[in-house]
Chains A and B, each alone.
Chain A
Amino acid sequence: MALFSRKRTVHSMTIREKRDFHAFVGFTAPTFILLGIFILWPIFYSFYLSLFKWNMISPKKTFLGFQNYQDMFGDPVFWLVVKNTLLMAFFTVIVKMAISLYLATQLNKKVKGSSVYRAIIFSPTFTANVAIAMVWAWIFEPTFGLLRVVLKPLGFPMIDWIHSTSHSLPAVIIVLIWSGIGYDMVLFLAALKNISLEIYDAALVDGANTYQIFWRITFPLVSPTTFFLLITGFINVLKAFDIVRIMTEGGPLNSSNVVVHFLYQNAFQWFRTGYASALALILFVFIMFITLIQNRLSKRWVHY
């Protein structure tokens, strides 16, 4: 016995273990090497770059210490961008989840043609954001836009959505809601299908009305999905770029500028590499923070 266990601790591998080890390394190496170079290393490199003033082209980097972070926190545009991003994430996620949960309960009634409804409502999920932004920019066009057809009879004045500091961010939010409803709806629908019909029958027998059934049964039972969509949806909007870039370019006067777009402008239009890296790092820390909270809370808040 003693001999045997001693032998095991000397790492003498059997032929089989050796073969498995080599196969494991070989099979996982491509993924880990790529992740290491293009995902993990960039975190450290971003931090390094955020300590310098650099235009990305010149060989010379000037060390600034934490000056970029100080500049950033003292920059009113940065705070406007943060405010826009959070507003956008909050309104987009809340509105689209409310609508999609409601639509999912309707689809779950299994009326005829529901697969057609589902397919069309879901279709923006797979549509190129660039094309979505193109057509919506045209819909928001103040004089000939389709939205004016709806708004004019309701007594609204002509609105130049995209070129107005008060309407550009709402315009982007509308498009994000429109394109995100289908995905949330399909996930809610899957959650609804898992609720056993017996629970509903029991509630009906007890004389519960539709309102009570929704708030006392449906809503608590889909809460894992609600929580998942809330967090992932929020994070996804924090990372939004395409729609903002095409529709408004963050304007006018940064009224619709958001973090990733501001990062893009700093890095690739104004060549403020250090400042942009500091922005990237802040975004990274914030998103990781939300992810950690998600992991902590998902066990406590959610009814299974």
Chain B
Amino acid sequence: MQNNPIATHRFSKIVSTIATHGILLAATIIIGMPFVWMLITAIKSPQEVSIFPPIWWPKVVRWDNFVTAWNTAPFGRFYINSIITAGAGVLLGLITSAFAAYAFARIRFKYRDFFFLLMLAAMMIPGQIALIPNYVILAKLKWINTYQGIVVPHIANVFGAFLLRQYFMTIPDSLYDAAEIDGLGHMKIMLHVALPLSKPVLGTLLLYLFIQKWNAYLWPLIVTSKQNMRTLPVGLAMIRSAEYAIGPEHLMAASIFVLVPVLIIYFLAQKQLIEGIATGAVKG
């Protein structure tokens, strides 16, 4: 049989498309499965959890597992703590990094580049070296088990300052010059020119910072010992210890409490967040 080159080409193209879908689908299932499994486990009865091979859907959906999980520990309080500390951390982080970014982008100063490099160098230092010294500092300030203890050591955000500086520098000089001719000082130029024009990047930065602070575990773990000061991830980790003796279905339900706010953000702003990573190479 004579081969039709165009038909062969189309056939091989279809095969390769199917193969691509197959590979991507397999990867998607492997990455997505733990989340699905978390949800399925969270709505099972204790008997249904302890079966092998496992069942894929419970006979009766046990939504009340979420209520039970919520009541094993003060999750309402954990939520409030997480919202306050993440919210304050994000707000203060944005403010301090916007000021620094504006200074490095627009204010003329002889040693500006030196200080900029100095700031970037601080980004290379691993935060782990600071755990013990920061704990000692906070203990001296009597800030253990306080919101400021959780928030303040992590306000300074070099990456945010760097990102905003890059953005401020893309704003045309003519806009800055016009504001200067109108007699505005640096503060007003930042508030009325630079920041309003940087809303997209500010939005992306806000979401990154929020997610990062919402998920934080090590520092809030160290700096809180009282149950009512725990943030959500610390509280979640705590109920896994033997004294709570709760089953996998309740643990998974409680894990979902931690994930929900971030999942909502991710669902709504998924494209913005991924493109931000791809273009800005944000630290993951």
Contact = CB atoms under 8 A, between A and B. Distances in A.
A165 interface: no
A141 B214 contact: no
Contact of A135 (B21, B37, B104, B234): B37
Interface in A45-103: 45-46, 49, 56, 99, 102-103
A161 to B, nearest CB: 14
Contact of B99 (A27, A41, A125, A284): A27
Interface string A19-47: 11101101110111011011111110110
Nearest to A178: B31
Contact of B54 (A26, A30, A144, A287): A144
Interface in A238-254: 238-239, 241-242, 245-246
B277 A106 contact: no
Contacts of B28: 116-117, 120-121
Interface stretch (B3-11, B58-66, B108-116, B196-204): B108-116
A169 interface: no
Interface string A237-281: 011011001100000000000001001100110000100110011
A228 B187 CA distance: 37
Given A45-B133, A128-B215, A236 B284 contact: yes
Nearest to A260: B128
A120 B251 CA distance: 23
Interface residues of B, number: 97
Interface string B212-225: 00110110001000
Interface in B32-82: 32-35, 37-38, 41, 49-54
Contacts, number: 273
A39 B130 contact: yes
Interface string B268-282: 001101100111010
Contacts of A139: 34, 37
A41 B31 CA distance: 41
B259 A131 contact: yes
Contacts of B136: 45, 49, 56
Given A107-B24, A246-B240, A39 B284 contact: no
B245 interface: no
B24 A128 contact: no
B217 A129 contact: yes
A51 to B, nearest CB: 13
Interface string B241-267: 000000010011001101100100110
B156 A39 contact: yes
Contact of B24 (A24, A28, A114): A114
B181 interface: no
Nearest to A136: B34
Nearest to A30: B96
Query: What is the interface of chain B mostly: helix, strand, loop, or mixed?
Result: helix
A159 interface: no
Contact of B103 (A23, A117, A267): A23
A227 interface: no
Contacts of A23: 103, 107, 185-187
Given A24-B109, A135-B255, A284-B125, A143 B52 contact: yes
Given A38-B156, A245-B237, A119 B270 contact: yes
Contacts of B41: 138
Query: What is the interface of chain A mostly: helix, strand, loop, or mixed?
Result: helix
Interface in B94-127: 95-97, 99-100, 102-104, 107-109, 112, 115, 118-119, 122, 124-127
B178 interface: no
A35 B159 CA distance: 12
A288 interface: yes
A268 B222 contact: yes
Interface string B139-161: 10000000000001111101001
Interface of B: 16-17, 20-21, 23-25, 27-28, 30-35, 37-38, 41, 49-54, 95-97, 99-100, 102-104, 107-109, 112, 115, 118-119, 122, 124-137, 139, 152-156, 158, 161, 185-187, 211, 214-215, 217-218, 222, 232-234, 236-237, 240, 248, 251-252, 255-256, 258-259, 262, 265-266, 270-271, 273-274, 277-279, 281, 283-284
Q: Which 7 A-B pairs have the closest CB atoms?
A: A42-B133, A34-B156, A27-B103, A42-B130, A190-B278, A128-B215, A183-B284
Given A107-B24, A239-B126, A288-B125, 4 more contacts: A119-B270, A126-B273, A127-B262, A264-B218
